[in-house]
């Protein structure tokens, strides 16, 4: 049953899981109304839950949540909560997502939405049945340079996209002393770097270039054992003591993708790429031009274009108020946004969607399901060494149900 809002201009939100993402969602809720004053809804921090004793209380004291809980179940049927941010580890997305959706709460959920496509589908089904609105944490599509790239591709500025390369390289797991957290377990994470980082790459590919038809992939684990931490963790911490445990999912993945347009795309993701921190980006080549973006230089887009394809220079364009939601943050060009700003934009899309604004911005659960199907196909292809069509992979999963 959906709760009745006491103040129709307010959306009373809960945040479940207060690690890195819980904090970023909370900060976004706190800033979104100031950046987007026209929004019909204003978030109110109603509740926070985290299973680590004291963590939710600390968050409540610091950020102003009205109450704190260690068990998220205590919040599911609360009449003073309209929406929830699900920022707990992947294995909890399905259970928490289904429970809150069935209780009539709108959902802003982190990628990859569960450990596999079946989980993402289950959350989508629950949301559809209950008629609640959902948005998913595919934040990189919110970067103004990515929005500019999408517009340029649609306008034909690079001709027909023929091939592209997407990379998501990180070093957060490059230290063998990095603790064995939920991210390294099949049961709690599902895929390894495929669910963690390639998920963002697949969303960008779909957003910019179209649907993935087939994949040929390889994956590898380079650090086979890690130590189980002795205390609670958040993010990527070191563990010098504790039992050695076998890492169950991939550190690195590389794929060749065919898109529905026929374009060919390479996608590489690594969590052990020494020397590369948050090195995310793409190069897209078309018949008459090219685009290149590096997340670490978020406000810059490299562009080439012209009638004669050969010898075109790549020019750097600094994004400005005309690109994406830039104008909500800065008045001129070359004033770059931050990672947190991408989440403020995502919060805006969520609030718009809940308020029923036509054409509300942001990735939805259908995007999460579509991305998860590709991620499962990548995992299947890495295992078999064969090319896997996404449709084949869906058929196999359906037959197994």
Assess 25 for contact with ligand NAD (CB under 6 A).
Answer: no
Assess 55 for contact with ligand NAD (CB under 6 A).
Answer: yes
Assess 21 for contact with ligand NAD (CB under 6 A).
Answer: yes
DSSP structure string for 87-100: -S-HHHHHHHHHHH
Provide the edge-to-edge strand list for the sheet that holds 106-109: 67-69, 42-49, 10-16, 83-86, 106-109, 134-136
The encoded tokens of residue 167 equal: 């990379």
The two beta strands, 300-305 and 315-318, are: antiparallel
Query: Measured from the CB atom, is 88 or 173 closer to ligand NAD?
Result: 88
HEC secondary structure over 143-186: CHHHHHHHHHHHHCCCCCEEEEEEEEECCCCCCCCECCCHHHCH
Assess 362 for contact with ligand NAD (CB under 6 A).
Answer: no
With contacts defined by CB under 6 A, name the span among 14-22, 76-84, 309-317, 322-330 that binds ligand NAD.
14-22
Which x/- pattern, by CB under 6 A, does the window 67-86 give for ligand NAD? -----x--------------
In the complex, what is the shortest distance from the CB of residue 143 to ligand NAD, in angstroms, rounded to a whole number? 12
Cα 118 to its chain centre, rounded Å, is 17
Report the alpha-carbon distance of residue 279 to residue 299 in Å, rounded.
15
With contacts defined by CB under 6 A, name the span among 43-51, 238-246, 306-314, 362-370 that binds ligand NAD.
43-51
Task: By CB under 6 A, name the one of 3, 27, 52, 118 that touches ligand NAD.
Answer: 52
Assess 137 for contact with ligand NAD (CB under 6 A).
Answer: yes
Question: Which residue in 184, 195, 224 sits closest to 137, CA to CA?
Answer: 195
Q: Are 383 and 216 in contact (CB under 8 A)?
A: no
Assess 299 for contact with ligand NAD (CB under 6 A).
Answer: no
In the complex, what is the shortest distance from the CB of residue 395 to ligand NAD, in angstroms, rounded to a whole number? 27
Query: Measured from the CB atom, is 119 or 214 closer to ligand NAD?
Result: 119
With contacts defined by CB under 6 A, name the span among 44-52, 247-255, 347-355, 377-385 that binds ligand NAD.
44-52
Assess 119 for contact with ligand NAD (CB under 6 A).
Answer: no
Assess 62 for contact with ligand NAD (CB under 6 A).
Answer: no
In the complex, what is the shortest distance from the CB of residue 54 to ligand NAD, in angstroms, rounded to a whole number? 11
Give residues with Cβ within 8 angstroms of 264, minimum separation 6: 162, 163, 164, 256, 257, 258
Task: By CB under 6 A, name the one of 43, 50, 247, 373 that touches ligand NAD.
Answer: 50
Assess 111 for contact with ligand NAD (CB under 6 A).
Answer: yes
How far, in Å, are 27, 196, 223, 293 from residue 272 at the CA level?
A: 29, 13, 9, 22
Residues binding ligand NAD (CB under 6 A): 16-21, 49-52, 55, 72, 87-90, 92, 110-111, 137, 139, 196, 234-235
């Amino acid at each position: 049953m959906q709760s009745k809002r006491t103040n129709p201009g307010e959306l009373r939100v809960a945040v479940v899981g207060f690690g890195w993402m819980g904090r970023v969602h909370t900060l976004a809720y706190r800033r979104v109304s100031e950046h987007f004053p026209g929004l019909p809804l204003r978030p109110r921090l109603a509740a926070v839950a985290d299973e680590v004793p004291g963590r939710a209380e600390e968050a409540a004291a610091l950020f102003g949540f009205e109450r704190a809980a260690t068990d998220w179940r205590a919040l599911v049927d609360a009449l003073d909560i309209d929406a929830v941010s699900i920022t707990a580890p992947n294995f909890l997305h399905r259970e928490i997502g289904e429970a809150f959706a069935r209780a009539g709460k709108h959902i802003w959920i982190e990628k990859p939405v569960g450990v596999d496509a079946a989980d993402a589908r289950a959350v989508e089904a629950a949301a559809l049945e209950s008629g609640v609105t959902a948005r998913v944490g595919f934040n990189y599509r919110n970067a103004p340079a990515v929005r500019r790239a999408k517009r340029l591709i649609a306008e034909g500025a690079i001709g027909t996209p023929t091939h592209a390369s997407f990379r998501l390289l990180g070093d957060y797991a490059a230290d063998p002393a990095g603790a064995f957290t939920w991210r390294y377990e099949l049961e709690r994470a599902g895929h390894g770097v495929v669910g963690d980082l390639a998920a963002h790459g697949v969303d960008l590919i779909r957003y910019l270039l179209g649907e993935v038809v087939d994949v040929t992939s390889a994956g590898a684990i380079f650090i086979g054992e890690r130590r189980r931490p002795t205390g609670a963790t958040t993010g990527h911490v070191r563990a010098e003591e504790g039992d050695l445990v076998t890492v169950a999912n991939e550190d690195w993945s590389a794929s060749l993708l065919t898109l529905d347009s026929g374009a060919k795309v390479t996608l590489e993701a690594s969590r052990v790429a020494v020397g590369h921190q948050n090195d995310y980006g793409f190069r897209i080549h078309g018949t008459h031009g090219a685009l290149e973006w590096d997340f670490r230089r978020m406000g810059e887009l490299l562009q080439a274009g012209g009638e004669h394809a050969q010898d075109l220079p790549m020019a750097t364009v600094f994004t400005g108020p005309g690109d994406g939601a830039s104008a909500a943050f800065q008045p001129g060009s070359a004033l770059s946004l931050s990672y947190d700003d991408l989440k403020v934009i995502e919060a805006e899309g969520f609030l718009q969607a809940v308020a029923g604004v036509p054409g509300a911005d942001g990735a939805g659960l259908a995007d999460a399901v579509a991305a998860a199907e590709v991620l499962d196909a990548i995992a299947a292809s890495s295992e078999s060494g064969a090319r896997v069509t996404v449709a084949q992979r869906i058929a196999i999963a359906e037959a197994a149900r």
